[in-house]
Every structure is written in C-alpha cells, then in structure tokens.
Amino acid sequence: MKKEDLILKWLDNNLSPTELEAFKNLEDYEDLVTLSQAIMRFKTEDYNSDDALADLQEKLKAKQQTKQKRNWMKPILRIAAVLAIGFGTFYYTATQDTNFETLAAQKNTITLPDASTVTLNSLSSIRFNPKNWNGNREIKLNGEGYFKVAKGATFSVQTKHGIVTVLGTQFSVKERDSNFEVVCYEGSVSVNYNSDSIILKPNESFVVIDGERKATEIVSIGSPLWLANESTFKSMPLRYVIAEFERQYNVTVNTKDINTTQLFTGSFTHENINVALQAITLPLHLTFKKDSDVILLSSE
C-alpha cells in the first residue's frame, strides 16, 4: 500500500493490525504523529484545510536557514500536505449528513449505524449524520416513517411540528402539512409539541390536525398498516386522505367539485387503484372518472 494511502487510512482510524504495523514502520512516523497533533490542536470548527496547509508551510519556510535545511523540509512538507488534505477530508465527511428519500408509490427500509431501522412511506425523507451517530442519534424527518430503535443513547426524531425522543422502542411518526401524528407500539415515547411534553405508552397515539390536538387514541395493531400496503384514517379531513392517495399511486386528483373538509373514516389499499377509489368515494357518495394519471372526483 502506498504511503499516502496508509496515512489517509490512519487519519480515518481505519487501519488493520497489519497496516498499523506498516504505518508505524514508516520513516516519517514520528513526524506524522507530531504534525497531526499540532493540526488537531489548532483546528477550529471552521477548519479550512487549504488555509491550514498554507499556514504550516509558511511557518516551516520561515525556519529554513540553509539549503541543507530546505532539503530536509521537503519530506516534512509532503507529509503536512497529506495530513492537511486528510484532516480536511475527515472534517468534511464528519460534518456531512446522509439523506434518504422515497418517491411516490415507493416505500423503503433503511438500516441505521446502530442497527436501528426506519421504514419510509411514500414521498418521505430522513437526514442524519452517520459519523457522529453513536454520540448523537438524531434524525430529521419529512413525511412519514416507522422506527424500530435499538437500545442505547437517546434517539430523537425532529420534524417541523415537534420532536419525538426515545431510548429503545418501536413507533411511527407522520408529519404531513398540518397533520402531526405519533404512535407508540413498544416501550415509551416522549413527544415535545410546542411547550408540551407528552409520554406515550404502548398502543397510545398523539395526533394534531390543523393545529388542533386530538384526544389520545388507543390503537390495537402492532405496526402501521401502511407497512402492509394499506392507509387507514379516523375522522380525517378528506383532503389529507386524497393527498395520501396521490402519494401512494403517483396520480393527481381533481377535487374542485367536492368538499374536501368533510371527514373520512376508513382505509384504502395501495395495490389496486380502482378498489382504493371505491373505498374512498362510496362512503362519501362521490363518483370518480379516470383520465390517464388524473382523477376527477364529483358528488353523486
């Protein structure tokens, strides 16, 4: 393995035992350790690898008194360059978030660094930092996800409506427009909403619709039904039901001729669009007409 590759793997704490021995046998080993410690001492939160390297080179050049010293400095400058680039790469990757998102009519399960998992419903996304995960299990969610959390440090899910915090449990979070919903399936869940903090036990839910908090509901299922390709609703304004239908089938629904504030209780499948439309329209005495990927809803 090339010297530069060994150094970069060392900076990333990714050397095998054999590679570590090879690294320690480098003639520049002691200089590398000394320089790395110096760089780490002076690295700030806004660390810039180019500036750090330029500054280090200036300091080293200032000490060059003779040609012999200048020749001696060349390998040190090469080492400094590798270190600065390496630390720049480390700093960049350590502060970079990982993103996952789903498209319309798509679901996806992501395994997190601690073996926790999150399953995203259609048109949802998460963002987290894998480098800092062990010390900061924090996820930013947009949309809807089902979480199975491995026991460990505090695990938090941040949404624009509130923060959900757990230690090890199974729960779901929905954040869609003005609808915020958290359901606990196992363990306990802390929900911070506005200035309130609510603890949910298994089979309890927390629901906010259009800024209004609903009474805690008891759920009798062990996981969200959308994992089994079915969306279910209880006294939900029709516009939210239609929006979910559009996400699951990647279509546009024209609702200009109907009242979308009326409440819907029921469910629809994700596997048959005609059956799903009938499940939504029949209880509300609506009709539908399909034209390619546009669906027109009308009153009977």
Question: Do 256 and 278 sit in the same domain of this protein?
Answer: yes
The residue from 74, 94, 114 where one domain ends is 94
Question: Do 132 and 167 sit in the same domain of this protein?
Answer: yes
Question: Do 90 and 102 sit in the same domain of this protein?
Answer: no
Question: Do 74 and 153 sit in the same domain of this protein?
Answer: no
Q: What percent of the chain has pLDDT over 90?
A: 61
Q: Is residue 220 part of a domain?
A: no
Q: Is residue 162 part of a domain?
A: yes
Rg of the chain in Å (alpha carbons):
28
pLDDT tens profile 228-256? 999 999 999 999 999 999 999 999 999 99
Average pLDDT over residues 21-36: 72
Average pLDDT over residues 150-177: 95
One DSSP character per residue, 114-155 reads TS-EEEE-TT-EEEE-STTGGG-EEEEEEEEEEEEPPSSS-E
The residue from 213, 243, 260 where one domain ends is 213
Using DSSP, state whether 160 is helix, strand or coil. coil
Q: What was the pLDDT predicted at 96?
A: 82
Measured between alpha carbons, how far is 280 from 48 in angstroms, rounded to an integer? Answer: 56
Q: What was the pLDDT predicted at 241?
A: 98
Q: What was the pLDDT predicted at 84?
A: 54
Using DSSP, state whether 213 is helix, strand or coil. strand
Question: Do 104 and 205 sit in the same domain of this protein?
Answer: yes
For residues 297 and 255, the answer to whether their CB atoms sit within 8 Å is yes
Task: State the CATH number of the domain containing residue 251.
Answer: 3.55.50.30
pLDDT tens profile 40-93? 444 444 445 555 555 555 655 555 554 454 454 555 556 655 555 555 554 445
Question: Do 36 and 70 sit in the same domain of this protein?
Answer: yes
> What pairs with residue 199 in β-bridges?
190
Q: What was the pLDDT predicted at 43?
A: 43
What residue numbers bound the domain in which 65 lies? 3-94
Question: Do 57 and 69 sit in the same domain of this protein?
Answer: yes
Measured between alpha carbons, how far is 287 from 300 in angstroms, rounded to an integer? Answer: 6
Q: Is the entire prediction scored with pTM above 0.95?
A: no
Question: Do 88 and 137 sit in the same domain of this protein?
Answer: no
Which one, of 201, 272, 283, lies nearest residue 236 by Cα? 283
Q: What was the pLDDT predicted at 139?
A: 98
For residues 117 and 139, the answer to whether their CB atoms sit within 8 Å is no
pLDDT tens profile 177-229? 999 999 999 999 999 999 889 999 999 999 999 999 987 778 888 999 999 99
Question: Do 248 and 236 sit in the same domain of this protein?
Answer: yes
Task: State the CATH number of the domain containing residue 186.
Answer: 2.60.120.1440
Q: What was the pLDDT predicted at 110?
A: 97
Question: Do 193 and 238 sit in the same domain of this protein?
Answer: no
Band of pLDDT at residue 267, cut at 50, 70 and 90 = very high
The residue from 94, 115, 144 where one domain ends is 94
Q: Is residue 223 part of a domain?
A: no
Start-to-end CA span in the chain (Å)? 75
Q: Is residue 221 part of a domain?
A: no
Measured between alpha carbons, how far is 119 from 170 in angstroms, rounded to an integer? Answer: 11
Q: Is residue 219 part of a domain?
A: no
Q: Looking at the predicted structure, is the pLDDT value of residue 287 above 70?
A: yes
For residues 295 and 257, the answer to whether their CB atoms sit within 8 Å is no
C-alpha 157: how far from its chain's center? Answer: 9
User: Interhelix angle for 29-42 vs 49-62, to 10°?
Assistant: 120
Within 10 A of 266 (CB to CB), how many other CB atoms are there? 15
Q: What percent of the chain has pLDDT over 70?
A: 76
Q: How far is CA 66 from CA 60, 62, 70, 73, 74, in A?
A: 13, 11, 6, 11, 13
Q: Is residue 137 part of a domain?
A: yes
Question: Do 107 and 148 sit in the same domain of this protein?
Answer: yes
Q: Is residue 218 part of a domain?
A: no
Which one, of 110, 83, 95, lies nearest residue 4 by Cα? 83
